[in-house]
């Protein structure tokens, strides 16, 4: 198989995601052997110039008075194809950002690259997720952030009692209100503790996610 450098590095990103768990079916075990140096490749070296050039072209076309819809679609398609250079999580926020650009809801700044905007959206989303779960459970946000950046596993999450310490900071009344609204039922106190444990553990191990909202 003949591969250019860009394609090779894109494949390297997908391979590394097998270990990070960010890809479908990701985990610790890989069902086939590939030389270990692939996981050490600095995929940050992937040249993003092409992706950024497609984005700039898209912006230029979008601001023209006489917009050519066919040209916009082709430029967008080219831009989406370049998403293969991104991790799956980055692809998610790249799509959200592009949707905001098309709808006029994105705030554009001179000198920012397409990757800069993706990083900004990722950071904001993660921050919102942390603030949301901290508010809903009344949990200590600072302690939660410390565990999130500690790269813990299920086996190491409670080293030095830090996960127990985090759970102890939860406002049980707030947590009870959240879970009972979520399930539309009364829940016994010991079951509330189980739900707190499970939600916080999953949130930390996955690096954050949008928690479920109670139905009104």
Let me know: does 201 contact 163? Beta carbons within 8 Å.
yes
Do 201 and 167 fall within a single domain?
yes
Do 37 and 56 fall within a single domain?
no
Does 30 score more than 60 pLDDT? no
- 173: CB partners within 8 A, 6+ apart: 138
Question: Cα–Cα–Cα angle for 196, 199, 200, nearest 5°?
Answer: 80
Work out the percent of the chain whose per-residue pLDDT is above 70.
78
Is 213 domain-assigned? no
Lowest mean pLDDT, pick from 70-74, 126-130, 209-213:
70-74
Do 40 and 62 fall within a single domain?
no
For residues 5-23, average pLDDT: 59
pLDDT confidence of residue 147: 96
Is 197 domain-assigned? yes
The larger pLDDT score, comparing residue 39 to residue 175, is at 175
Is 179 domain-assigned? yes
Q: CB burial class (10 A; 0-12, 13-18, 19+) of residue 211?
A: middle
Do 109 and 143 fall within a single domain?
no
Domain boundary among 123, 156, 182: 123
Does 195 score more than 60 pLDDT? yes
What is the residue-averaged pLDDT of the chain? 83
For residues 27-39, average pLDDT: 47
The larger pLDDT score, comparing residue 66 to residue 202, is at 202
pLDDT confidence of residue 89: 87
Does 127 score more than 70 pLDDT? yes
- Please write the tens of the pLDDT for every residue from 70-87: 888 888 888 888 888 788
pLDDT confidence bin for 206, thresholds 50/70/90: very high
Is 130 domain-assigned? no
- Kindly state the DSSP code that residue 107 receives in the 8-state scheme: -
Tokens 């690096």 map to which residue?
207
Domain boundary among 73, 98, 123: 123
Do 166 and 200 fall within a single domain?
yes
pLDDT confidence of residue 23: 46
Is 216 domain-assigned? no
pLDDT confidence of residue 41: 47
Do 152 and 197 fall within a single domain?
yes
- Please write the tens of the pLDDT for every residue from 129-175: 999 999 999 999 999 999 999 999 999 999 999 999 999 999 999 99
Domain count, the chain: 3
- Report which of 173, 185, 148, 182 is spatially closest to residue 163, judged by C-alpha positions: 148
What does the alpha-carbon distance between residue 163 and residue 139 come to, in Å, rounded to a whole number? 11
Is 133 domain-assigned? no
Do 54 and 119 fall within a single domain?
yes
Do 30 and 74 fall within a single domain?
no
Q: The whole model's pTM is what?
A: 0.70
Domain boundary among 79, 98, 123: 123
Could you tell me the residue range of the domain that residue 109 belongs to? 49-123
Let me know: does 101 contact 62? Beta carbons within 8 Å.
yes
Do 115 and 143 fall within a single domain?
no
For residue 73 the two structure tokens come to 């679609």
What does the alpha-carbon distance between residue 178 and residue 213 come to, in Å, rounded to a whole number? 9
Do 57 and 86 fall within a single domain?
yes
């Amino acid at each position: 198989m003949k591969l250019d450098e860009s394609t090779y590095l894109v494949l390297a990103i997908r391979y590394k995601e097998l270990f990070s768990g960010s890809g479908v079916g990701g985990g610790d075990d890989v069902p086939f052997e590939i030389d270990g140096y692939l996981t050490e490749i600095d995929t940050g070296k992937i040249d993003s110039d092409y992706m950024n050039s497609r984005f700039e072209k898209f912006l230029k076309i979008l601001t023209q008075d006489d917009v050519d819809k066919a040209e916009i679609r082709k430029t967008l398609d080219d831009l989406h194809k370049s998403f293969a250079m991104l991790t799956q999580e980055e692809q998610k926020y790249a799509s959200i950002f592009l949707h905001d650009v098309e709808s006029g809801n994105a705030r554009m700044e001179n000198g920012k690259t397409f990757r800069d905007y993706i990083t900004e959206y990722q950071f904001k989303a993660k921050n919102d997720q942390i603030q949301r779960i901290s508010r809903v459970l009344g949990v200590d946000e600072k302690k939660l952030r410390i565990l999130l950046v500690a790269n813990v596993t299920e086996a190491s999450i409670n080293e030095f009692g830090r996960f127990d310490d985090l759970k102890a900071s939860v406002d049980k009344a707030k947590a009870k209100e959240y879970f009972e609204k979520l399930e539309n039922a009364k829940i016994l106190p010991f079951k509330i503790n189980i739900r707190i444990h499970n939600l916080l553990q999953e949130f930390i191990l996955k690096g954050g996610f949008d928690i479920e909202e109670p139905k009104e």
